[in-house]
Chains A and B, each alone.
Chain A
Amino acid sequence: MIKAILIFNNHGKPRLSKFYEHYNEDTEQQIIRETFHLVSKRDENVCNFLEGGMLIGGSDYRLIYRHYATLYFVFCVDSSESELGILDLIQVFVETLDKCFENVCELDLIFHVDKVHNILAEMVMGGMVLETNMNEIITQVDSQNKMEKSETFIFQSTRQDR
């Protein structure tokens, strides 16, 4: 099971956090900090797996991560998941984001947190993988956007928007 999915940048600023188990807010923030601390000090070319920090379950859990330019994508998973499989999943997630946002960059994640959440929800649900096929995921996201478009048309207004 996937326990948490975290995205933060090279400075540890969280860009997405999705926990599939309940922690209180303070613990969640601590987990993000601890994970950043563990992951960021690792060289490139070392392996992409490491044992989880103390907060997120100790040695039964693994952190599996990839580092893309300015962002770290970290999946915290238990022993029932294949490490390499999760690496592939991260890649699918990133490629999907890239397609949806056209050359995704950190700013896209900042300004469209809700969209990122929706895309992720098409892949992972309650900590389990729902779909791995990128085209299928994009089709779903597309159809949502169409619905959204047809609705936002009504809102197109010039009112003060603060």
Chain B
Amino acid sequence: MPAVSKGDGMRGLAVFISDIRNCKSKEAEIKRINKELANIRSKFKGDKALDGYSKKKYVCKLLFIFLLGHDIDFGHMEAVNLLSSNKYTEKQIGYLFISVLVNSNSELIRLINNAIKNDLSSRNPTFMCLALHCIANVGSREMAEAFASEIPRILVAGDTMDSVKQSAALCLLRLYKTSPDLVLMGEWTSRVVHLLNDQHMGVVTAAISLITCLSQKNPDEFKTCVSLAVSRLSRIVSSASTDLQDYTYYFVPAPWLSCKLLRLLQCYPPPEDGAVKGRLVECLETILNKAQEPPKSKKVQHSNAKNAILFEAISLIIHYDSEPNLLVRACNQLGQFLQHRETNLRYLALESMCTLASSEFSHEAVKTHIETVINALKTERDVSVRQRAADLLYAMCDRSNAKQIVAEMLSYLETADYSIREEMVLKVAILAEKYAVDYSWYVDTILNLIRIAGDYVSEEVWYRVIQIVINRDDVQGYAAKTVFEALQAPACHENMVKVGGYILGEFGNLIAGDPRSSPLVQFNLLHSKFHLCSVPTRALLLSAYIKFINLFPETKATIQEVLRCDSQIRNSDVELQQRAVEYLKLSSIASTDVLATVLEEMPPFPERESSILAKLKKKKGPGAVSVPDLEDGKREGGELNGGGERGPDSAAMSASNASTPSPSADLLGMRSAAPMSAAPTSAGSLLVDVFSEAGPAAPSAAVNDDGFLRFVCKNNGVLFENQLLQIGIKSEYRQNLGRMYLFYGNKTSVQFASFTTTVSCPGELQSHILSILRLNVQTKPVEPVVEGGAQIQQVLNIECLTDFSEAPLLNIKFRYGGALQNLSLKLPVTINKFFQPTEMTSHDFFQRWKQLSQPQQEAQKIFKANHSMDTEVLKAKLLGLGTALLDDVDPNPENYVCAGVIQTKGQQVGCLLRLEPNGQAQMYRLTLRCSKDSVSLRLCELLAQQF
């Protein structure tokens, strides 16, 4: 029997719908709707009380009208009345109306809440579910205030029906998402985790979404879910396709739940418990094995469900990034999918491989698929698949295959879809720069880029090629020759003219020896393009001309002639006119010496983050661009992460560095109205503010380390807070590795724009490659915009290479309103975070103590107590330190002794600690003995401020 019988609907509704469907025109439809709205309105307002059936019918009509895209501004009150009906049908339609047409009218919300309250306490499961659905759909603050404490109770109560439990779990999740502050953790949280064990799979399905969300926000509190999830997963994976009956979907046992379990596990690092981990690895292997088995059904749904689990398993393997064996198997599996006939699988395989390419274990394995991926870029019919292929090529690029990949991307660009061209151009430009061994190749590539896709070459790209040519003597001659040749083309892109004008203006002399490119030929070539160009390009060309006068005195007369003509000196554009007038005067008044100084070659640009990379980051969001850093990340980390992001205009202008004594005529300085008007003696005034606001000229705040010391003995908390911003920290450490989550919360109602963060390790910026890097901190870029009231998260991966005493610095820049905010904080990464506790007996302890007897191995401090000397507080702090607190070791029970080993990449440093409190004097004596003297000193320094 069909569950919905078609005959018993409401006839009036059906007639109305048919009328609408029979309307021949939009106008007729609107007319009919207005008629109906008037009818309903009069019925609602009429004297005659409507029965439930009529109300239901009219509300249904309103819903239908709403779906057609018409505003509904009445009927809410009638819907609310339906809520309090005792009839299921009326109640249901009332709730439906409220859910679809929520209105933030607070008056109404109070009435709705009242009805919900009644239904929740009705003990009728159907009514309870309706009420819970309504809360979950509306999810407003008022509802959270009214029900946030009630729902958890329903969820974990022993006598709650399964269907109500399901609804309660998702209802609570919704409230937690909209108003996390109102959902208080409590006794219920531990019972929620155990819902993973529930008999009813539907309850598990609903609960797991809740648990995943809670775990993401409070990983420590919900840690126990890992082992429960693993055992549940293992039971599903190993079950036969008939075991789970209704939850078996096309011969695959509980695919949806399996995916969700695998997602939940991705919130956590690999399980520490060996048995749990073993069981999980077994599951993952089984899933990978099943992929190779012959399908149990030919239906696409079967393979779909099976692969859904497989892809989640692969994501988990990539997330753990610790099982080389599984990683390589995952990579091979994805490799098979790359050639699968299902487009969906090819798409997902390309996408997963992108993340796989960044793992050191599988990078090489990914690279073996290069030909397939290139082929995909060329032959896929679907642009979204081609886009993924381009992303993957970018991710798998390294020095060994850069030339091939760049060449393929360039040739693809000729036919690429408009929607992805700009991004492709940025990627080609970045790869060409990053892996250029030979800079003539780089110049060729960029010029090709401009030739092929000139319209999509943004300023950043051509600024960058100029920066690089200026900074590298070895490529200048080649660049001049190549642009000269490129400009010969009858039609060349304006960006080519810009690059050509700049480079010939600087380095035209390097090719002037050849009669085919004599100064006059060069000038005529450039000037032949002049009239086709926009104002900014013309301004740039005028600057190039004045540079020519300096480089080649023989062109002076010709150029002066050009400057003098009416179309220049009386140009209606102020900028062009001014340049023409000033350049003409300068060339006729100034002596050759002065000219030579004013028009000297540009000084090298300071090295900093590529403006192109910054642009791509902005475009693609975090994660998308960091991939190729794998190989060079460590070496070039300073350059890529350390430099401030600069506005596009400043990219090429920053040559006027204040430290450069020569008055640099800023060729591209179109912003500074009169670059040439100052005499060389007043060079300083030439250096007008050419840095954009985001540049290094921004006021930099003093380093703030208030929060820093509070984190020596703890890992989570609020690091910083002012009126605008709150920064929270969660961190976890294992061995010599750490992961830190930074949460940036916007406390205002206004968005923060251009939000950037950089992390630098002291010493890394000042010193060069030869000095030792002590700490390796890798970050993923954050979203450039933080909306008012929103919070964004950033993950830092930290590796302790050797012992260190300086903490990394976090620099945050953003725009709030019009003002640039700049903030520097010490990140609480201290050497003690890498402690592994060591248990030892009294005998062992003192034996070690004696072994560490060289004077420099010991550090000692006697200091006054700043905090409570309470035993429990002290113990908590010492445990927070990361060492093992040893009982019954020190003969004096008042004293505390601790032992631990600091794990760095290169070595392990054993540390022993002894803290002797003197309650009467309110003093402590702290003694540290470590196998490395710098560690003793640093620990002593840190700890002396903790007690």
Contact = CB atoms under 8 A, between A and B. Distances in A.
B215 to A, nearest CB: 12
Contacts of A141: 3-4
A10 interface: no
A130 B166 contact: yes
A143 B3 CA distance: 9
Contacts of A161: 10-12, 15, 57
Contact of B384 (A16, A50, A84, A102): A50
A117 interface: yes
B840 interface: no
Contact of A162 (B12, B126, B202): B12
Interface in B603-651: 620-621
A83 B202 contact: no
Contacts of A89: 256
A47 B346 contact: yes
Contacts of B139: 126
Grouping DSSP codes into helix (H, G, I), strand (E, B) and loop, the A interface class, with mixed when no group exceeds half, is: helix
Given A91-B301, A126-B173, A128-B173, A85 B205 contact: no
A141 B129 CA distance: 13
B202 A84 contact: no
A92 B100 CA distance: 23
A152 B21 CA distance: 27
Interface stretch (B306-314, B653-661, B733-741, B770-778): B306-314
Nearest to B93: A114
A113 B64 contact: yes
Interface string A105-149: 000101111110110010001111111111110101111110111
B60 A114 contact: yes
Nearest to B57: A161
A102 B2 contact: yes
Interface in B243-261: 246-247, 249, 254-257, 259
Most buried by B among A83, A85, A87, A121: A85
Interface stretch (B84-92, B505-513, B712-720): B84-92
B5 A128 contact: no
B48 to A, nearest CB: 13
A80 interface: yes
Contacts of A25: 66, 69, 71
B96 interface: yes
Given A47-B382, A92-B249, A134-B246, A99 B3 contact: yes
Given A101-B4, A126-B170, A133-B247, A88 B67 contact: no
Given A130-B206, A144-B92, A48 B4 contact: no
A58 to B, nearest CB: 9
A92 B381 CA distance: 28
Contacts of B909: none
A46 B256 contact: no
A46 B67 contact: no
B259 A82 contact: yes
Given A82-B259, A85-B259, A100-B3, A131 B9 contact: no
Interface in B1-45: 2-6, 8-15, 17, 21
A45 B385 CA distance: 12
Nearest to B346: A47
A34 interface: no
Given A84-B304, A84-B307, A114 B256 contact: no
Contact of A46 (B166, B254, B381): B381
Contacts of B869: none
Given A125-B167, A131-B205, A148 B136 contact: no
Nearest to B619: A59
B491 interface: no
Interface string B374-417: 00000001101100000000000000000000000000000000
Contacts of B348: 83-84
Interface string A9-28: 00000111110101001000
Nearest to A96: B3
A18 B301 CA distance: 25
Contact of B69 (A14, A135, A162): A14
B80 to A, nearest CB: 17
A144 B2 contact: no
Contact of B347 (A47, A113, A149, A155): A47
Contacts of A48: 343-344
Interface in B31-77: 53, 57, 60, 63-64, 66-69, 71
Given A87-B344, A125-B171, A151-B88, A22 B102 contact: yes
Contacts of B206: 125, 128-131
Given A47-B384, A84-B307, A129-B256, A112 B9 contact: yes
A114 B8 CA distance: 13
Interface string B860-892: 000000000000000000000000000000000
A82 B308 contact: yes
B871 to A, nearest CB: 45
A144 B163 CA distance: 13
B929 interface: no
B4 A88 contact: no
A20 B304 CA distance: 26
B662 interface: no
B201 interface: yes
Contact of A144 (B126, B307, B344): B126
A155 B53 contact: yes
Nearest to B257: A132
Given A45-B343, A129-B256, A130-B202, A100 B133 contact: no
Interface string B202-238: 1001100100100000000000000000000000000
Given A47-B347, A126-B139, A148-B89, A131 B202 contact: yes
Contacts of B64: 113
Contact of A114 (B5, B71, B87, B96): B96
Nearest to B621: A59
A88 B205 contact: no
A142 B3 CA distance: 5
Contacts of B132: 125
Contacts of A45: 343, 381
Contacts of A51: 384
Contacts of A22: 102
A22 B178 CA distance: 12
A80 B260 CA distance: 9
Given A113-B64, A151-B87, A128 B209 contact: yes
A133 B246 contact: yes
A50 to B, nearest CB: 5
A113 B10 CA distance: 12
Contacts of B8: 149, 152
Contact of A85 (B100, B255, B385): B255
Contacts of A152: 8, 89
Contacts of B440: none
Nearest to A108: B6
B38 to A, nearest CB: 13
B384 A130 contact: no
A110 B21 contact: yes
A79 B703 CA distance: 36
A66 B426 CA distance: 34
A16 B63 CA distance: 10
B813 interface: no
Interface in B82-141: 87-89, 92-93, 96, 99-100, 102, 126, 132-133, 136-137, 139
B174 interface: yes
Given A114-B96, A131-B166, 5 more contacts: A14-B67, A47-B347, A84-B305, A126-B133, A126-B136
24 contacts: A43-B382, A46-B382, A47-B344, A47-B384, A49-B347, A50-B384, A83-B308, A85-B256, A87-B344, A88-B256, A100-B3, A112-B9, A113-B63, A113-B64, A114-B92, A114-B96, A115-B4, A117-B99, A121-B133, A125-B132, A125-B170, A132-B202, A133-B201, A133-B202
Pairs of residues from A and B, 6 with the lowest C-beta to C-beta distance, nearest first: A126-B136, A84-B308, A46-B382, A126-B174, A47-B343, A102-B2
